[in-house]
Amino acid sequence: MPRSLLAALSACALTAGVVATGPAAYAAPAAAKARTVNLTSFDGVSIVTHFFPAKELATGRRAPTVLLGHGWGGRGETDTAKGMLGALTASGYNVVTWNARGFGSGGQANVDYHRFEGRDVQKLIDWTARQPEVALDRPGDPRLGMAGGSYGGAIQLVTAGIDRRVDVIAPQIAYNDLRRSLYRDGVLRAGWVINLCLGGVMNGNRISAQVQRACVDGVREGRLEPKLEQWFADHGPAHLIRNLKIPTLVIQGTVDTLFPLREGIETYRTVKRNGAPAKMIWYCGGHGSCNTKAGSESHVTEATLAWFGRHLRGDRSVNTGPEFEYVDQDGVYRGAASYPPPALGPLAAKKSGRLAFTPLDNSGTSMAAQISKKAVEVPIPASSTTARIIGSPRVTLTYRGNAIKPGTALFAQVIDRDTGVVIGNQATPLPVTLDGRKHTITRDLEAIAWKVGPKSRLAVQIIPGTGLFTWQRSVGWADVTASVTVPRARA
């Protein structure tokens, strides 16, 4: 692992979460005061919990409540003057925040496991239902929504999957399948795993033994042992999302290199199949760097408040906008009736070449892929009309080669020569077996959103290594033929 990468990851982990010491106070009626308690969970672990009544809530009145989760390694929000906490209380919602197990509370973090963190939140719901400011659907059942990003997004999917008292959720930059996110096609997102490990042990945080093993053995070996891989698979929460039949607003980042758009797409599709109201927004953010125009900074917050206004408060006059919204590289949000939007014919291309590689052939960082100087590059034909690439390009790779370690991976990424960026910062593993024989593999690349037209100069690069995943661990060569199809949608 290059020292420069480790240093960058360490710096990122240092800023991953802000430790809060207690709830901020603001002027409120006598019967509606912010407060902090230590709740005892099912196994005796103490969970630090903050309650913030809706701003200006009148004495004796009740309001809907939102549980607001925090990110990995962080703490529950306590500043009512800013962020989602401030927006929710100002909009008339009570808010409950908490320090998740292992992160400022007792116990060890188990990666939002339903048998631990899920049951912790059920205890929070029990307690919330007893608060005098909380509107109830029935005794013990608060009128309840959930919000939050990343780790705080996944806990929504977990909790709503096991407890029907959750009425509405708005998970942001969350994962659907944790194994796929961290270990796609048996290739570890080593940079992000290191980053998560650093954030998991700093500031007094405590993480489970399984996560510690992934940090050490996974990064050292470049893979997860089968039992550990299954442990992450059990932490889903895909199998729990199948239970969701409540309004769900899925918010995912176009440049998220930890939990890419695919994770949100799967959640959105599952909720729709269940017959529940679903909406999906792609914004330029998440676990990654936005290297294009981001668009409105308030768009996601406003959409979340609208979603809660209609589905939690029950105000049918609130317009939640189109079911699918996405932002392009110009920072323009566009909408469609659903995902995927109406399609035009795909763009297709094919190219052959030889790719030699060593462990030194890596490009980019854990946060962003970069255009590689060593690549088999497949130019994509320009679109005859202005359109947008919305969804996953597909690559079929036919190859033959030899390597010291035959089982390795190459990677595919979509680049824009005009802007000099890898679209969405994404690269996708292509597992290969370089044993001298001919093989073929087909993979859908990570989904992207990008405007194209007659002057566009896009290409797909087949590259030997990327900082997004474990570094190339073999030496060899491959003769490849890459066939590419890129989906187009109406502008």
Report whether pLDDT(21) > 60: no
Q: What is the DSSP string of 434-446?
A: EESS-EEEEEEPP
Number of domains in the chain: 2
The CB-side HSE value for 423 (13 A sphere, CA atoms) comes to 33
Interval 70-86 mean pLDDT: 97
pTM: 0.92
pLDDT score of 362: 87
Paired sense of beta strands 448-452 and 428-435, if any? unpaired
Spatial separation of the C-alpha atoms in residues 489 and 491, rounded to whole Å = 6
Instruction: Return the ∠ at Cα 61 (arms to 60 and 64), rounded to 5°.
Output: 140
Q: Are residues 309 and 350 in the same domain?
A: no
Q: CB-based burial of residue 462 (10 Å sphere; 0-12 exposed, 13-18 middle, 19+ buried)? A: buried
Q: Return the percentage of the chain with pLDDT > 70, whole number.
A: 93
Q: Are residues 131 and 151 in the same domain?
A: yes
For residue range 49-65, what is the model confidence (pLDDT) as tens digits? 999 999 999 888 999 99
Q: Are residues 97 and 21 in the same domain?
A: yes
Final residue before a domain boundary, out of 314, 336, 358: 336
Q: How many of the other CB atoms lie within 10 Å of CB of 380?
A: 22
Q: Cis check for the bond before 237: say yes or no (omega within 30 of 0).
A: yes
Please measure the distance between the N-terminal and C-terminal CA atoms of the chain and give it in whole angstroms.
43
pLDDT band at 170 (very low <50, low <70, confident <90, very high): very high
The enclosing domain of 351 has a CATH number of: 2.60.120.260
Q: E strands of 417-471, at which residues?
A: 421-422, 428-435, 439-444, 448-452, 458-463
Q: Are residues 357 and 465 in the same domain?
A: yes
Residue 227 and residue 259 in contact, taking contact as beta carbons nearer than 8 Å: no
Identify the domain containing residue 350 by its residue range.
343-490
Interval 12-35 mean pLDDT: 46
Shortest CA distance to 80 belongs to which of 134, 149, 145, 22?
Answer: 22
Report whether pLDDT(415) > 90: yes
For residue range 437-483, what is the model confidence (pLDDT) as tens digits? 999 999 999 999 999 999 999 999 999 999 999 989 999 999 999 99
Report whether pLDDT(7) > 50: no
Q: Is 423 helix (H, G, I), strand (E, B) or coil?
A: helix
Q: Are residues 289 and 370 in the same domain?
A: no
Q: CB-based burial of residue 266 (10 Å sphere; 0-12 exposed, 13-18 middle, 19+ buried)? A: middle
The enclosing domain of 31 has a CATH number of: 3.40.50.1820
Report whether pLDDT(19) > 50: no
